[in-house]
A and B are shown apart, each in its own frame.
Chain A
Amino acid sequence: MTPGALLLLAAGALMAGIVSGPWFARSWLTFTLAGAIAGLAAALSVLFGAADWEWWSAFSLGGELVHLRLDGVSALFLALLCVVGGAGAVYAREYWSEETYPASAPRGHLWWSGLVLSMGLVLVSSNGLHFLIGWELFTVCAYFLITLDRQRREVRAAGWLYLVASHTGTVFLFAFFSTLAARTGSWDLHPMQDQAALTPLFWLALAGFGVKAGVFPLHVWLPSAHANAPSHVSAILSGVAIKMGIYGIVRFSGWLPVPAEAGGVVIGIGATSALLGIAFAFAQNDLKRLLAYCSVENIGVILIGVGGALLAVTNGDAPWGRLALAGALLHVWNHGAFKALLFFGAGSVLHATGTREMSKLGGLWRTMPWTTGLFLLGSVAVSSLPPLNGFVSEWLVYLGLFDAATSKGTAAWAAMPAAIMLAMAGAIAMASFAKAGAMIFLGSPRTRAAEQAHECGNFMRAPMLALAGVCVVIGLAPILIWPLVTRAVGSWRAVEIAPEVPAPLITLGLVHVALTILVATAAAWLWRKAHATDLRRSPTWDCGYAMPAVRMQYTSASFAGIVSGWFRWVLQPERKLRRPHGNFPAEAIRLERVPETVLERIIGPVSVAIMRGSTSVRRLQHGRLQFYILYLVVGLIGLGVLVMLGGAQ
C-alpha cells in the first residue's frame, strides 16, 4: 500500500477511536492501535523508500487547498508519534481504567485519539493555515488530557499554565505563518531558501516553537504539566508533544533561509537548557518533576545538535553539521523512547504507592522487580551510558561538535563551550538518575504506602517492555536505524548525503554488543556467587547506631545537596533552618524547597505588576456618567489641541 492509503487508514482508525472511545474501551484500544500501526507503516515506507509522499487535493479547508506531504523529517517524527501513541494507549488501559476512573477514563480515550490524530495532522500538513489548525487542536487535546483528573486544584492550575504558555507560543506562530504568507503570497509551505527576505522570520519560529519545546527560560509550563498529568499523558507530552516544537524548528530552519547568527544562538539556547534543566532536575523531590526537568535538558541536547547543523550551513555546508543533525534527530527518537519508558515507570510507582515524592518511597525493588528493572534500564539510557541508545545519539552530537571545534573558523568558539556544557549536563544527569533510582527502589521503605506497593499488570508492563526493546535495539545495532536518520537529514535541506554507515558507528555497535556480553557474563557470575549455599548473611555495618530507623536514610535533598549548592544562584532555594542547641536539643528543623524559579521569581511578579496596572485602569470605569462626559470633553480638547499643533506645522 502507498503511504497515502496507509495514512488514510490511520486517520480513519483514529477517528473511529474518537467516536467509540467514550463508550467502548476495547474497540477504542483496537482502533487506536490500528491507527498507530498504519501510521507507523506509512512513516517507515517513506523512510525506507526513496521518494517523499505528496498529495494535492481539490478539497479546500478554510479557503486553502489541502496539501499533505510526508518527507524524511516528518516521517521520522510521525514514526515516534505512532510508537508512543500506541504504547500509551495500551498503558492507559490499565493505568487509567474505567474501574478506577469511571468519569474521566472515557473522556481520556477520546482526547488521546484526538491528540494523536492532531499531531499527525501537524506533521503531514504542508499549508500554513492547516498547520496552525492542527497545532491548535493538538494544544487543546493535550490540555484536556492534562486536566483529566480535574477535581484536584493543582491539576487545574497546571492545565491553565499550559494553555496560557502554549497560546503565547501560538501567537508567535500566527505572526510567523501570516507574515510568511504575506511575503510569499501563499499559505503553501515548501522549501524556499532562496528568498532572502524571509530570513528574520526564523526568530519568530524559534520563539513560537521554543515555548512548545520547553527551552530554558520558556519551559515554565512544562514541570507542572508533566507532573500533574496522568503518567501516560506525561509520557506522550514529554516523548512527542514537546518534540513538535523541535519539529517546527528543524522543519522551518530547513525550508527557510536562516540568519548567520542562528547557529550560535540555537547552540547557546541548547547548552543553557541542557545545563540548567538538569540542575533543576537534580534538585527536585517530585519524581515526575525530575523527569520533566530532565526533558528540558534533553531538548537542550537536541537543540545543540540542530544548532551545530545551522552553524555548518553558514560555514559552507561542513559535513560535521550533518553529523550533529543526525545526532539530534536520533536523540529525538531516543528521548521519546526512554522518557516515555521512564514516565511509564513513574506511573507504575505512582499507581502502586499513590505518591510521587521520592522521600516517601524506598525499597520498591523487592515488591516491584519489573518496574525497577525497566526504570533502571531507562535511567541508563537517559544518562547516556553505553550500551544503550542515549549514548549513540549524544555521541553523534559530540562527534559533530568535536569536528566543528577542530575546524578552523568561528564555529569552534561555539562548539567548544557547548561540548563542555553538554558533558557537565551528562554528568549531572547521571547523578540525578542515580538519586532517583536509589531513593525509590533501593534502601528501606520510608512510608507504609511504599511498603505495601504491588507490581503493575500486563497492560502496563507490555508497553514498557516494548519501549525498553527500542532502547536496546538502537543501542546495540545503531547501523539498523542509520538509513532512517540519513534519510531525514537528507530531506532537511534537500541535500544528498552518503547513505553508507560511517565507520565509527559500526565500531560503536560492536563495542556495545561486546560490552553487553561482558556485563551479562559478570552479572551471571555475581548472581551465582550470591546464591551460593555457603554464603554467610548479616546486616551491613550500621555506623554504630543502636537502633537504625528508616528516617536515617539519605533523603533526596541531602543526596543533591552539594550540586544544588553549585547552582544556588539560579535555583534560589527557599530554606528554613533551626539548628539544635545545647546538650539536649529540643527541636531542630531544616526545610529546603526549590521553587519554580523562572515562574515564581520572574514571570509571577511581572504578571502581578501587569495585573495591578490593568486593575488600576479599571478604576476609571466607575459608573458615574458625569465623569464619562468629562473624559469625553478632555479627549475632545486633547484632539483639538493636537489638530491645532499639527496644523501649525
Chain B
Amino acid sequence: MSKKKRNNVPGEERQKEKPQYGMARCVGFMFSRAMRYQKEVPILLFFQIAFNISSGIFGFYLSPMILARLEARSPLNELLLTAGFLIGGCFLSDAAVSVLGNGMGNWGIKAAYQGELRSHILQEISNKSADTSYCNCLDTRWQRLAKRARNCCNSNSSACEGIWHTLQNLGVGIFLFCFFTAMLTHIHPLIFGVTAVFCLLDFIVSSYVYRYNYRHREELSHLDRQTWYLLELPRDLSVAKDIRLFGLESWIRRLTDKAFLARQAYAKREHTFYLIGTFSSTVLEFLRTGAACLILLRMCLDRSLSAAEFMLYFSAISSFNGQLSGVLNRMLELRNYCLDLSSLMEFLFYREPFRFAGGIPVPEDDTYEIRLEQVSYTYPGAEKKTIDGLSLTVGKGEKVAVVGLNGAGKTTLVKLMTGLLDPDEGRVLCNGIDIREFNRKEYYRLFSAVFQSYNLFDITVAETVAQSAQNVDREKVKDCIEKAGLTKTVEELPAGLDTHLGRSVYLDGVQLSGGQYQKLLLARALYKSGAVLVLDEPTSALDPLAESDLYHKYHEMTAGKTSVFISHRLASTRFCDRVLYLEKGKIAEEGTHELLVAKGGKYAHIFEIQSRYYQEGGEFYAGQN
C-alpha cells in the first residue's frame, strides 16, 4: 500500500504545481509591491540598465577604434583623443554601475532598497501565516505553498530579490542583442544566421544537459536530506548525551560515511553527464567561430576590410553570441523565479474559510457559555473522526476538566472550542451565537490559553508575559509572575524582567527549564485575563509542590471565568465542577469526580490505576510478588 502511495505522489504534485499565475502576472506583482513599499527599486533598475548598456558599448568599441586609428595612421592627437574619449566613457558608466549596483562586494546603493522590499514581502507572508484560518495550516497544499513562498524570501538570490537582478540583465541583454543583431546583419546576413543557429543549438543541448539535477531532484534531495540530518546530530545536546552514554559515535560515523559515498557517487554521475554538454558546446563553438571567421576573412580579402574592422566584427560575433545565450538563460531564470512567485501569490491570496472582517460583534459579557452541538471533526488525510458527534455545554463560569487517554481527542476538542478549528459537522456556539458569525480574531480575544506546544520568542521576560513589545504593564506582569510562582526565578535572572529568553537572537539570553517555561506560560495566560481559561496539560513538567500550588490557586485564577482543564493528572479534576471523560472523540462519561468514581466505569478505572501507588497498604507489593 505504501508503495502505491509513493508512486502517486509525483504525478499528483506535478498537477498541483502547475502555476496559477503566468510570468506577466508575477512580474507585475513584483512591480506593484515595489510601487507600494519601495519606489526606489524600479527607478534604480532603470538607471542600472541604462549605465550597463553604455558601459557595454564603450567597452566594445574601445580596442577596435584605437586599432583603426593606428592602422589609418591618424595624427597622434586624434589617436589620443579617441582613446581618452572611450576610456572616459567607460569610466563614467562603469563607476555608475558600480556605485548603484554590484560594486564593493555586491553592496551598491540598490542593495538596501531591494533588501527592504524583500523584507516587506516576507512580512506579508509572515502575517498571512500568522493570521490565516488555522485549518489552512493543516492543509498539505497550504504547507507546500508556504514553504515555497518562504523560499522566495530566503536570501538576496531568491526570487523576491533575485528577480531584479535578472530583469536588469535581461533589459541590458535584449538591448545589446538588438544592437549586435543590427550590426551582424549589416556585415553579412549569413554570419548572423550561422551564429544564431549554432547558439540556439548550444542552448537547447545545454539546457537539457544541465537540467540533470532537476530531473533527479527527488534522488538528490533525498541524499541531501539524509546527509544534512546526520551532520546536524553531533552538536545537539540531547544527541550528544546519548552518543556518549551509548557509544554511538561509530554508528553515526558509519552512516555518515555511507551517506557521503552515495552523495559523491551522485556527483560523479552528474558531472560525467555534464561532459556531454562540454563536448557539444566546444564542438559547436568550433564550428560557429570557424564559419564566421572564414566568412569574415573572405570579406577582408574581397572587400578589403581593414584589420581593425575584422577585429570589430570578430568581437561583434562573440558579443552577439554571448548576448543571445545570456538572454535565453535569463529568460529561463525569470521563468523559474516566476514559478516561485506564482506560489507566493497563491499563498498570499489563499482562500480564508474563517471570517476575518465584519460579522456580528462578539457580545460583551463578563463570562461566556460555550456550546458544542453534534460536532464532528476529521483531520485532513485522517481516516477516523477525531471528534465524533459530540455535544457539550460549558456554562457561564463553569469549570470543566477533560480527561482521557492519549489520542482520545482532548486537544482537538479545545481547538474546536477556541475557534482554531471549525467542525465538519455541527456547530460551536458562544452565548448562543455560531462562532462562524464573529470576526474570528475578536473571538480569540476571549481566551487565555496554555497549549502543550508553545512558542516563545527570544524577547524579554516582561514582553513574553505581556505579549507586547511596546505596551507592558510592569506591575501587572509582576503580579502574574507571582501568581504563577515564578518570582524567585525571575529575581535571580541577570536582568530580572528585562532578561532575554533563549539564545537564538540575543547573546545575553537565558534558557529556562521545562518547569519554568510552563510557569511562564501560565503567567502569560493570566496577564491576558481572557474571560475563558483553557489549560492543556499545564503541569506535566512541574514538581509536586508546584503542581499542588497550581491546583490550590486554580480556584482563585478562574474566579467568575469559564474554564477548561486538560490533564493526565486526575487529581486536577477535583477542582472542577464537572469531569468529561473522552474516548474516541466522544464523551464516554461525565459528572463530578465522586459521581464518576462511584459509578465504577472507565474514569473510575483510570483513577484507580493512577491512585494505586499513592494509597497506603500492600496493594502494590502484593501485585509485584
Partners in one complex: no
